[in-house]
Amino acid sequence: MVQSLAKGANFVYTYISAAYKMPLFLRSTTLNYIVIDLEWNQKIHRGSMRALGEIIEIGAVKMNEDMEILDELCIVVRPSVYNGMHPHVKKIVHLDEETLANGVLFEDAAKQLRDFCGEEFCFLSWGDEDASILMENLAYYGLELDFASYHYDMQRIYRQQKETEPGQNQRALAWCVEALGIEAQEGEYHSALTDARYAAQILKHLDMERAARDNSGRYYPNSRQIQSHFAKFRTHAQQGQGLPTCKFCGKPSRVILDMFSFTGNSMIVIAHCKDHGYFSSIFSRKRVRKKNPNALRGTASKQNKKQD
Ligand SMILES: [Zn+2]
């Protein structure tokens, strides 16, 4: 039952991807563009490892292929991972504690977002961070990942199609709004819906047929990233923990590791099976010794003492 459901979900995903690559005249249905912007909170005392960025606000604008705005969505998410806001986040987002406390749980927010997207869609956002943050949060709550894995980075598309200065590759949203002469939208920057509205206006200036030819739209690491993900997994997972295997086919050989996130003593791994799509696993993190691990060995510890 579960297996057939998952296969179904994977089929839908494959169909969505294939549909978009099809020439317009062959497609019977249309694709929605979901321009999304997220605000997230971070761990206050960040260690050397990448901690979960907890989504606190979701803003999205739905457009059709003629770039007409169909609908908007704004959801405040009640924080449940970290106590207190990171000072930097507190300074830039426009959400007070009362608003956050009245927000919805992430599971409900994710369902609202899923329903908002419609049948065939792809996500678009400014930069590549929103895509990973969304995947990370879905993984943290053990929710379906495939629906969020079809995602284009508009900052990159802007660079490919509009950039005139060589070497400029990370234009700020506000800079592009100014450069394209886009009129002021309701609300302030760093409010999820306002940023999504600005990005939606920028999208009207971009050629998505060309963008689909130039970029895969797949949330998929490159070979260099895959290598570093495997290395990180070996470094941070407790000894004896094998690589994650696909829950449906059980084949580790068909799985690539994609991303890691850390919360407390757990490590959340996002993996991708070539046949069954994205899935997440939780692993125990290796205990971090505060002292120099060499201190356990006699000679090394004496040497360390001399150095001290
Ligand atoms: Zn599989």
CA of 249 to the centre of ligand 1 (A): 4
Q: Which residues of 233-272 are buried (b: 16+ CB within 10 A; e: fewer)?
A: beebbeeebebbbbebeeeeeebbbbbbbbbeeebbbbbb
> Model confidence over 103-141: pLDDT tens digits?
999 999 999 999 999 989 999 999 999 999 999 999 999
Burial class (CB in 10 A: 0-12, 13-18, 19+), 17: middle
Quick one: pLDDT at residue 17? 42
Please, where are the H alpha helices in 165-222? 173-179, 192-203, 208-214
Query: Are 186 and 240 within 8 A, CB to CB?
Result: no
The CA–CA distances, whole Å, from 33 to 29, 129, 135, 182 equal: 13, 18, 18, 19
CA of 188 to the centre of ligand 1 (A): 44
The CA–CA distances, whole Å, from 221 to 69, 189, 228, 276 equal: 31, 29, 10, 17
Architecture of domain 2-219: 2-Layer Sandwich (3.30)
Residue 252 structure tokens = 């580790």
CA of 95 to the centre of ligand 1 (A): 41
User: How do strand 121-125 and strand 32-41 relate by DSSP bridges?
Assistant: parallel
Task: Tell me the residue length of the chain.
Answer: 308
Residue 48 structure tokens = 């050397």
Task: State the Cα angle at 5 between 268 and 138, rounded to 5°.
Answer: 25
CA of 261 to the centre of ligand 1 (A): 22
Q: What average pLDDT does the chain have?
A: 83
Ion ligand 1: residue ranges with CB closer than 5 A: 246, 248-249, 273, 275-276
> Model confidence over 147-206: pLDDT tens digits?
999 999 999 999 999 998 988 888 999 999 999 999 999 889 999 999 999 999 999 999
Highest mean pLDDT among 25-29, 149-153, 263-267: 149-153
- Residue for token digits 């065939």? 120
Residue 46 has pLDDT above 80, yes or no: no
Q: Report d(CA 229, CA 225) in Å as an integer.
A: 6
Split at pLDDT 50, 70, 90, the class of 23 is very low
CA of 104 to the centre of ligand 1 (A): 33
Pinpoint the residues of the chain covered by CATH 3.30.420.10. Answer: 2-219
Read off the pTM. 0.82
Q: Look at 13 and 279; give whichever has higher pLDDT.
A: 279
CA of 244 to the centre of ligand 1 (A): 11
Residue 162: how many other CB atoms lie within 10 Å: 15
> Model confidence over 287-307: pLDDT tens digits?
766 555 554 444 433 344 333
Q: Report d(CA 272, CA 255) in Å as an integer.
A: 5
CA of 254 to the centre of ligand 1 (A): 7
Element (H, E) at 257: strand 255-263
Closest C-alpha to 279, from 296, 254, 301 = 254
Quick one: pLDDT at residue 51? 87
Quick one: pLDDT at residue 60? 98
